[in-house]
Structure 1
Amino acid sequence: MSDLSSQNYDRAMHRHPISGDVDVYDSLRDIYIGRLVNIHTQGLMLVGDVPLEEDRLYELDMHIPHENGKQVLRIGVDCLWTRAADQNGKHWTGFSIIDSTPHAAEEIHKLIQSWGQF
């Protein structure tokens, strides 16, 4: 984390580690930014090669494997924190979900139920 005060975020909701590969893209810049590590209904964490900025809004596309290929869920997020990982230039990034359609929220619930580790 870039600042020790960032460690004070309360985690009122249980995070669900994801047991499959969910690729995440910055939809506005049309670039791959990382892989989903964990998620809950109000936030998520990624690991990736692209450093993102704290206190900035992003529009993310999550590419979720689906029986008919990939399903893309678009959500609006606020980047709460970021820090360098211990491996080859990777970055951990935590987000709060600030905007999603009812369909995206429902699909996040399904993702947690089917792929989340409780």
Structure 2
Amino acid sequence: MEDRRQHSRHTPELQLEVFDLHTEKRLGRVVDLSTDGFMLFSNCPQVADALLECRLVAAQAVEGVSEVKLGADCLWSRPGADGQHCWAGFHIIDLAEDQAAALEVLLRHL
């Protein structure tokens, strides 16, 4: 399978949780991250082609950064092998300049 990513992904050693920006509902845990997107491991199914405004929240602040707010498009969603979890891939589509800088800080520490 051809890898079309423009930026390498990093598996976070730092725990990153994803929350819906408006409802504050926990959506899952980031299992890999790049400047372009992330893969989410979730307890609830995600909808492919859905747009999401969310917060990536670090368990511990890094260089003063504890969260990144962004908009993302769910490119795909698949059930986990156990039938109780879900994997989903998101493309980052909206990221303010200050949030892009915060994301770069987190990426340096992964």
Task: Tell me the TM-score range normalised by the shorter chain.
Answer: 0.7 to 0.9
Structure 1 residues 80 and 67: alpha-carbon distance in aligned structure 2, compared to 1, 3 A threshold? closer
Number of aligned pairs?
Answer: 109
Q: How far apart are the structure 2 equivalents of 1:103 and 1:69? A: 13
Percent identity over paired residues = 28
**TM-score, normalised to structure 2's length?**
0.87
Alignment of 1:4-83 (within 5 A): 10-64=4-58, 65-66=60-61, 71-83=66-78
Structure 1 residues 21 and 48: alpha-carbon distance in aligned structure 2, compared to 1, 3 A threshold? same
Q: 1:100 is aligned with what amino acid?
A: L
Q: How far apart are the structure 2 equivalents of 1:24 and 1:46? A: 8
Q: 1:78 is aligned with what amino acid?
A: D
Pick from 91, 94, 110 the counterpart of residue 89 of structure 2. 94
**TM-score, normalised to structure 1's length?**
0.81
Question: What SS class does the counterpart of residue 41 from structure 1 fall into?
Answer: coil
Structure 2 unaligned blocks of 5 or more: none
Higher helix share: 1
In the alignment, which residue of structure 2 is the partner of 1:106? 101
Q: Which of 31-40 and 79-88 deviates more?
A: 79-88
Structure 1 residues 69 and 101: alpha-carbon distance in aligned structure 2, compared to 1, 3 A threshold? closer
Q: How far apart are the structure 1 equivalents of 2:62 and 2:105? A: 13
Structure 1 residues 69 and 103: alpha-carbon distance in aligned structure 2, compared to 1, 3 A threshold? closer
In the alignment, which residue of structure 2 is the partner of 1:4? none
The Cα offsets for residues 40-70 of structure 1, whole Å up to 9 and x where unpaired, read as 1111111010211111100011111216997
Deviation at 1:14, TM superposition (A): 1.1
Structure 1 unaligned blocks of 5 or more: 1-6
Structure 1 residues 57 and 38: alpha-carbon distance in aligned structure 2, compared to 1, 3 A threshold? same
